[in-house]
Amino acid sequence: MTQHARVYTEMVTTGALIHGDSDRHLKFNEEEHPVALQLGGSTPADLAVAAKMGASYGYDEINLNCGCPSDRVQNGAFGACLMREPELVRDCVAAMNEAVELPVTVKHRLGIDDDNSYDIVRDFVGTVAEGGSDVFIAHARNAWLQGLSPKENREVPPLRYEWVYQLKRDFPDLTIVLNGGITSLDDCQAHLNHVDGVMLGREPYQNPWLLSQVDAQLFGDTERDLSRYDVAMALMPYLETTLAEGGRVNHVLRHVLGLYQRQPGGKLFRRLLSEGMHKTGADAALFKEAVDATEALIARRSA
Of 64, 42, 52, nearest to 136 by C-alpha is: 64
How many CB atoms sit inside 10 A of residue 104's CB? 26
Task: Let me know: does 107 contact 40? Beta carbons within 8 Å.
Answer: no
* Cα dist from 229 to 42, 110, 134, 289, 294, whole Å: 44, 40, 40, 12, 10
| Dist CA 142 CA 160 (whole Å) | 9
| Dist CA 273 CA 257 (whole Å) | 7
Catalytic residue list contains 68:
yes
Q: Which of 66, 68, 81, 188 is catalytic?
A: 68
| Helix or strand run (H / E) with residue 293 | helix 284-302
Task: Let me know: does 108 contact 140? Beta carbons within 8 Å.
Answer: no
| Dist CA 96 CA 104 (whole Å) | 7
Q: Residues 185, 190, 194, CA angle at the centre, nearest 5°?
A: 130
Of 149, 71, 62, 158, nearest to 109 by C-alpha is: 158
The CB-based long-range contact list for 285-288 (8 Å cut-off, 24+ gap) reads: 286/249, 286/253, 287/232, 287/235, 287/236, 287/239, 287/249, 287/253, 288/236
| Dist CA 131 CA 214 (whole Å) | 32
Catalytic positions:
68
